[in-house]
Amino acid sequence: MNRLKGFYVYAAVVALLPILFPDNYFVTVVGATILLNVILAVGLNLFIGYAGQISLGHAAFFGIGAYSSAVLTTRFELNAWLAMLVGLGLVYVIANLVARPILKLKGHYLAMATLGFGIIVNIILVQESSWSGGPDGLGDIPTLSLFGFDIDTDLRWYGMIAFFSLAAILVSLNIIDSRAGRELRAVHGSEFAAQMMGVDTVRTRTNVFVLSAMFASLAGSLFAHQQAFVSPESFGFGFSIEIVTMVVLGGMASTYGAVFGAIVLTLLPETLVVFEDYEMLIFGGILMGGMIFMPQGLFVFLTQKIRTVLNHRSGPSPKPQDAQKTLECDS
Amino acid sequence: MTILQAVNLDKHFGGVAAVTDLSFSVTEGEIYSVIGPNGAGKTTLFNMLCGYYVPSGGSITFAGKDLAGMETHQIAAQGISRTFQNLQVFYNMTVLENVMVGCHMRTRTGLIKAALRLPSVIREERQVREWSLEALTLCGLEHLADREAGSLPYGELKRLEIARALASDPKFLAMDEPAAGLNDTETVEMRQLIQRLKERGITILLVEHNMGLVMQISDRVLVLGFGCLLAEGTPQEVQNNPAVIKAYLGEDV
Ligand SMILES: Nc1ncnc2c1ncn2[C@@H]1O[C@H](COP(=O)(O)OP(=O)(O)O)[C@@H](O)[C@H]1O
Ligand SMILES: [Mg+2]
């Protein structure tokens, strides 16, 4: 099918890499981290890229998912898959509760409110040490098992995370190419016009916030079982910014762009040792530079450049007329 | 039969009275125009009609239902749609997708169904595409369906907003200066388009500065000056009304 051509190519690469290089650290370990980050970036891209909102607190939902799995499986010996579902349910409820007051806000205010939410969740994880383990974290988290097989090697984890990662991309592609997806983009394009077309924009924004939070929760549960250990550090403000950077770098409003952003930003620290001390500095720089020089994102920027070069070779192509946009609003 | 009725409508912004004690009613199937100089309160009237502004006083009734307290999307669900003086096009979408958003109320797919892409979703997409192309054809834009909305010239964006509104299958369409900024040929096309909409049974509330256009196609005209009703009647009556000539038409000559 034409619509999913890109997806099939990407899925084939994801499937082939570990078959070709089963013992390569970069493929099975870094690769698995990339695939996990893809879930987060693709989910957040629905909220930021498509619906045009901003969240600086998404690491909190990643954390709630991770801690739900960690606490329920270690302290209550709940089945890991059930724990994952409970985590998703919890995030569903919390995201809905938070969305109500928060999503009335826009722009900077929304950014600040989500930032505050992320910080509060992180403080709770640190302070409530009786069940969260506090700053030391929680260890001995059992691994996942599927049909009686324990997911206990890097290669198996790669496969497990790849499955959910590909599913996340497919879900995102399906949504965007539907009534629900157009609703998101309409809210971004003109909230007033969207309402005039009958879109309940408050509900739309709430739903996509909750959905992207649930993507993060799923990633969090996988992360907890894969690492067998969680601590509040992994779910702080810094990581929220990192996910946003993936979305922005990859190009807002492009699922593959978000995938691309996740790949680049996961690989960078792995390849550049100097990164360790200056991680936040470099993410900040990428965010700023990206916003200023490539507001459409690196992915879109590069694909457009490539297209221009190709078009040049095959002769001049008709130039689209310049957009005549009226920026001011009828208010 | 009256489809829209405004009674003693008031709107002020702090000390500025934008609309004052305005009462009028629109009959089903007619083209009802509102004219008046810039700042007369025409757009404010539209914004109250579609729930964007809360009236400071008075009421608006549509098809027997009081619109007070309804949100914009609920008002849209009553069968009211509009176009915007300052374009509100979805520039992040193609022309066809813009119009497909217009089909929102005629379809059901939510996030979960869409995520799973059930067969019903695919069927619905096909139907939405069909409706949207129909609306685009009516507005003479079908050849531009796959273009990015941002690449269209101004005149075509104006028609795109109409196509998008039409896709929602409205009973009532409010158009805010649809011919502003259009050249003569485009204005003629716009007039023909508005007439076609009327023939389809859509009641039209038209705000427009182009007097030729207004006088040609309107069934009735309301003249606003500083938020107050100056005159109302057929184009003939309004044109011959001394108060109107003095306050409004006089300035144009
Ligand atoms: N949101 C607003 N805040 C303050 N004043 C407004 C607002 N909207 C409109 N007005 C004022 O109301 C009056 C009527 O404006 P408007 O309805 O846009 O006029 P028209 O569409 O007839 O040109 C103007 O004086 C305008 O400045
Ligand atoms: Mg106006």
**Structural domain of residue A93, as residue ranges?**
2-283
- Residue A237 in contact with residue A115, Cβ under 8 Å? yes
Of the pLDDT bands very low, low, confident and very high (cuts 50, 70, 90), residue A317 is very low
Residue of chain B with shortest Cα separation from A254: B92
CATH number at residue A122: 1.10.3470
**Average pLDDT of span B226-232:** 93
**Best residue for ligand 1 mutational test, from B11, B16, B86 (most atoms within 8 Å of Cβ):** B16
pLDDT band, very low/low/confident/very high, at A331 (cuts 50, 70, 90):
very low
Mark out chain A residues that contact chain B at CB-CB < 8 A.
171, 174-175, 177-183, 185-186, 188-190, 192-201, 207-208, 211, 253, 320-326, 328-331
What number does the ligand 1 atom closest to the CA of B14 have? 4
Write out residues with Cβ below 6 Å of ligand 1.
A 331; B 13, 16, 18, 36, 38-44
**Ligand 2 centroid vs B86 CA: distance in angstroms?**
8
- Does residue A185 share a domain with residue A308? no
ipTM: 0.95
The answer to whether the Cβ–Cβ distance between A321 and B82 falls below 8 Å is no
Closest-CA residue, ligand 1 atom 3, reads B13
Residues A224 and A323 in one domain: no
- A190 and A273 in a single domain? The answer is yes
B173 Cα: distance to centroid of ligand 1 (angstroms): 21
By C-alpha distance, the chain B residue nearest A171 is: B115
Highest mean pLDDT among A95-104, A320-329, B1-10: B1-10
* Per-chain mean pLDDT for chain A: 87
Say how far apart CA A179 and CA B206 lie, in whole Å. 30
Residues A179, B93: C-beta atoms closer than 8 Å:
no
pLDDT (tens digit per residue) in A271-313: 766 666 777 777 778 777 777 777 677 777 777 778 787 777 6
Find the B26 Cα to ligand 1 centroid distance in Å: 23
Nearest-CA residue for atom 12 of ligand 1: B18
Residue A292 lies in a domain: no
A110 C-alpha vs ligand 1 centroid, how far in Å?
28
Q: Is residue A170 within 8 Å of A7, Cβ to Cβ? A: yes
Same domain, A161 and A302: no
Q: Is the pLDDT of residue B178 over 90?
A: yes
Q: Is residue A135 part of a domain?
A: yes
Residue A273 is predicted with a pLDDT of 66
Question: Percentage helix, strand, coil, to 5, in chain A?
Answer: 75, 0, 25
Average pLDDT over residues A121-134: 92
A219 in the same domain as A89:
yes
Residues of A in contact with B105 (CB under 8 A): 197-198
- Together in a domain, A164 and A192: yes
**Bridge pairing between strands B16-27 and A145-146:** unpaired
Instruction: Say yes or no for a CB contact (<8 Å) between A330 and B76.
Output: no
- Measured between alpha carbons, how far is A158 from A226 in angstroms, rounded to an integer? 10
Least confident range from A2-6, B176-180, B195-199: namely A2-6
- Best residue among B12, B38, B43 to mutate for probing ligand 1, ranked by most atoms within 8 Å of CB: B43
Using the mean position of ligand 2's atoms as its centre, give its distance from the Cα of residue B55 in Å.
17
Which runs of consecutive H residues, i.e. helices, occur in A128-236? 129-132, 154-176, 179-189, 191-196, 201-227
Closest to A74 (Cα-Cα) out of A219, A189, A234, A230: A230
Q: How far is A56 from chain B (nearest CA, A)?
A: 23
**Do the domain assignments include residue A24?**
yes
Cβ atoms < 10 Å from Cβ of A29 = 16
The segment(s) of chain B belonging to CATH 3.40.50.300 are 27-79+170-253
Secondary structure tally for chain A: helices H, strands E: 15, 2
| B109-157 tens-digit pLDDT | 989 999 999 999 999 999 999 999 999 999 999 999 999 999 999 999 9
Cα–Cα distance, B30 to B198 (Å, whole number):
7
Q: Pick A183's closest partner by Cβ from B86, B104, B151.
A: B104
Whose tokens are 């158009």? That residue is: B175
Write out chain A residues lying below 8 Å of B153, CB-based.
321, 324
Reply yes or no on domain B27-79+170-253 having CATH 3.40.50.300: yes
CB-CB contact of B222 with B27 (8 Å):
no
Domain identity same for A276 and A306: no
Q: Residue A32 falls within a domain, yes or no?
A: yes
Size of interface A-B (CB pairs under 8 A): 138
Position A291 in a domain? no
Same domain as A182, residue A73: yes
B242 min Cα distance to partner chain A (Å): 32
Do A261 and A322 lie in one domain? The reply is no
Question: Is residue A288 one of the residues assigned to a domain?
Answer: no
A196 lies in the same domain as A165: yes
Give me the residues paired with residue B148 across strands.
B94
Of B85, B109, B154, Cβ closest to residue A330: B85
Contact B84 A208 (CB under 8 A): no
pLDDT at A106: 75
Q: Answer yes or no: do A319 and A184 share one domain.
A: no
Domains held by chain A: number:
2
What global pTM score does this model have? 0.91
Residue with more model confidence, B169 or A112? B169
Of A186, A324, A330, the CB nearest to B86: A330
Q: How far is the CA of B226 from the centre of ligand 1 (A)?
A: 10
Q: Choosing among A166, A178, A196, A205, which should be mutated to test the B contact, i.e. which has the most B CBs within 10 A?
A: A196
**A305/A233 same-domain check:** no
Test A197 with B107 for CB contact under 8 angstroms: no
